[in-house]
Amino acid sequence: MDQPLGGFGGNALHDSFHRMIERSRAEPPASLEQRLDRLARLRGLLKDNETRFEQAISADFGHRCSVETMIAETLSLLGDIKHTSKHVKGWMAPRKVATQPQFWPGKNRLIPQPLGVVGIIAPWNYPLQLTIAPAIGALAAGNRVMIKPSELSPAFSALLQETVAAKFDPTEMIVTGIDDGVAEAFAKLPFDHLMFTGSTRVGRIVAAEAGKNLTPVTLELGGKSPTIIDRSADLDEVAPRIAYAKLMNAGQTCIAPDYVLAPRDKVEALAGKIRDAMQRMFGADPANTDYTSIVADRHYARLKGLVDDAAARGARLLQPAPADDAAWQSRRKFPPTVVLGATPEMKIMQEEIFGPLLPILGYDDPADPIAFINGRDRPLALYWFGTDEAARDEVLQRTVSGGVTINDCLVHFAQVNQPMGGVGASGTGAYHGEWGFNTFTQLKPVFYRSPYNRFADLYPPYGGKIARLAKVLRWMS
């Protein structure tokens, strides 16, 4: 392949994009065989370079547990490709749509059609998963794909650029560089669809730039995903599930439980059990290789600022060591921290945490968590623990979120037959499985007129025939 590596300045970016556009307009839509071939090459790319991706991602973080990369990224993607390859033939087929009787014996069909060129702006927290998963849907839908990785993942980005170039023609799929010029110019390109995964703040910027070209966008953002502990919940079951979900990737997960709402008289017990579960899983030694580092010094400093602000405002911290402990800070590993006594005025309750900090707030009335959640931006995820089905259904009916897992956390993301997406400030649009295929597809409605349809009876000159026909149409409507 002759795809350029390394530098990817403004001219190269625009040239590559316009070559893709020209090919997408000049050539017939990708056949089933072409789509399956592209998915197979993508699968080979992942399998051939699995260890290299683990090492590159770990290097970008300072340390990233390889098991977490395998579970949350590689294995998930391989399963997604297998599922998509199995079903793409059916997804591509024209879809029957009911036809109103007055148009019989004509028929309606929806014809899935590739959009053209899809842009993907990827984040740093799960760089492989959140880059390749949307690419799977875009390729399956017959599109060409341009990827802009995160500037916080330089080792991964270079490896992805190299491996994609080895497997794909640059008019099929290409990975840009990560310098500032590319980052600024990418969202300004007139893509046929643009997908962005990242913060709400940057998502607004991306949407504004895309809007100048009327480019449709899918935004996978973040926010403060709540966890509700119902009075019927078993705290011994709850604690390890929350602890694992919060500390996976050191909390640098867009759907991580951001804060917990628990019955006031259970807060102390729950906090202690979560702290103990965190220590059982990850210990109290920053050298523990199962525990991932914070991606950058400025992110570590931001988390420390949240903790310091909470403590200054009266919160109590449960942590194995303070954040400025040299052994932890030198490895950029933030001590797992349970925050008691958090209040809405604290910074930790006003912005997405994106780290291993877990505020636990008490409530008195079962309706309080619903009111608390509905008084804030729509979350990307919501978690509920308990056995009271009426209380569970009340929360499901009265709150709006991107997705929900009941009696666990994170797991709804792994359901390939369910859409993954946000709502409101946490995002717009969805992907995964057939939902991803549809996101990157124009489902074109087509009506096939029958030679036996009496449309000609509607043509002028009007006379008695129109009255008779109108009477029939009213009866059928």
Residues belonging to the active site: 220, 254
Distance CA 428, CA 76 (A): 23
Decide: 125 and 296 in contact? Cβ < 8 Å.
no
Counts of helices then strands in the chain (DSSP H, E): 17, 18
Instruction: Give the helix/strand (H/E) hosting 144.
Output: strand 144-148
**Amino acid of residue 228:** I
Residue 401 CA to residue 103 CA, distance in Å, equals: 40
SS3 (DSSP) at 222: coil
Alpha-carbon span 4 to 20, nearest angstrom = 14
Pairing of strands 381-385, 403-406: parallel
- In single-letter form, the type of residue at position 186 comes to F
329 C-beta neighbours (distance < 10 Å), count: 20
CA distances 142 to 116, 173, 245, 278, 297, Å, are 8, 11, 35, 44, 41
Please report where in the chains the tokens 């080792």 appear, as a residue.
155
Q: Where are the beta strands (DSSP E) in 268-395?
A: 316-318, 337-340, 357-363, 381-385
Sequence-distant (6+) residues with CB within 8 A of 345 are: 313
Give the torsion through C-alpha atoms of 59, 63, 67, 69, to 10 deg. Answer: -50
* Residue 448 CB burial class (10 angstroms; 0-12, 13-18, ≥19): exposed
Q: Is 120 left (phi over 0), alpha (psi -120 to 50) or beta?
A: beta
Own/partner pairs, 410-414, CB within 8 angstroms, 24+ separation: 410/245, 410/248, 410/253, 410/255, 410/256, 410/381, 412/381, 413/255, 413/381, 414/76
Which of 405, 262, 247 has the alpha carbon at shortest distance from 333? 247
Distance CA 48, CA 163 (A): 9
Quote the CA–CA distance of 251 and 245 in Å, as a whole number.
8
- For residues 260 and 256, give the distance between their C-alpha atoms in angstroms, rounded to a whole number: 11
Cβ–Cβ under 8 Å, residues 259 and 270: no
